[in-house]
Structure 1
């Protein structure tokens, strides 16, 4: 397979994951701060994918792989926070000070979404876990794109 279809698949995968996140948000599953952090590398991967289609070389697909690896890593970290494997940021978890040290019973201001609470899961995996898994697959696709030839080699004996 050549590079361009792999780039489209990888950047398209990030677009689909973002679309899924926004659909869940529209259905009322509001994102926490760490959920929002996971979206930024997907946006970067989409932009990188567009650039990679226009620019020759392997640098852009490798950069796309880095973006996918970053969001996958954030997803793993978020999963660990949700499962209490390690502490999360005090600003968005129920255990620390930070932004949560005020009056939690106040009805003023926006609704606070905690990063250590799972709002939706499927097959025992949270949205953060699914993002980590699918983004890791996208890393592999980006790497395949970087390794793939830019175009199909000409057929032997083809007319010139």
Structure 2
């Protein structure tokens, strides 16, 4: 397995997850605020991956791992908000906004407002946020392997004395 192959797989994974999010949005599942937060690190990982394919070294794969870990962590946080393990941001979950409850806001005319503490889709009892967390942490490990392989490729040519 080569460094660039791992970078390509991790970058492709972020492309797939981000693309999947947009497909769900087109199918009528508008994102909540935290869903949108989870998209930004994937976009960053894609840009990092495209650059890392051309630039040697460990820094860019390490940044890719940070981006994947960040979206995974946001996914865990979002999952906790959805499952009432902890409170989410007041702007998109639970309590009322300006005297209105979340249900009141959802019943108003205009664009559909999605609350962060509501699960709009799930598969095998896991929400989209949960799936994002699982897959993003897998991608983070792919980036970490790329970091390790980046170090291995730089030490191959050097001669070390023990």
> Would you call these one fold, judging by a TM-score over 0.5?
yes
Runs of 4+ in 1 over 6 A off after TM superposition: none
| Structure 2: 5+ residue stretches without partners | 158-162
Distance 2:31 2:99 in 1: 16
* TM-score normalised per structure 2: 0.87
Question: Where does 1:37-116 land on structure 2 (aligned, <5 Å)?
Answer: 37-97=37-97, 104=105, 105-107=107-109, 109-116=110-117
Q: State the Cα deviation string for residues 25-54 of structure 1 (Å, max 9, x = none).
A: 111111101000000000000000011011
| Structure 1: 5+ residue stretches without partners | 155-160
* Range with bigger deviation, 34-43 or 87-96: 87-96
Distance 2:57 2:98 in 1: 45
SS across alignment from 1:70: helix
> How far apart are 1:106 and its partner, in Å?
3.5
Distance 2:99 2:58 in 1: 43
Distance 2:34 2:100 in 1: 15
Residue in structure 2 matched with residue 117 of structure 1 by the alignment: 118
Distance 2:54 2:100 in 1: 46
State the Cα RMSD in Å. 2.0
Distance 2:89 2:96 in 1: 8
Aligned residues: 152
* TM-score normalised per structure 1: 0.88
Conservation of the 8 A alpha-carbon contact between 2:30 and 2:112: no
Conservation of the 8 A alpha-carbon contact between 1:92 and 1:99: no
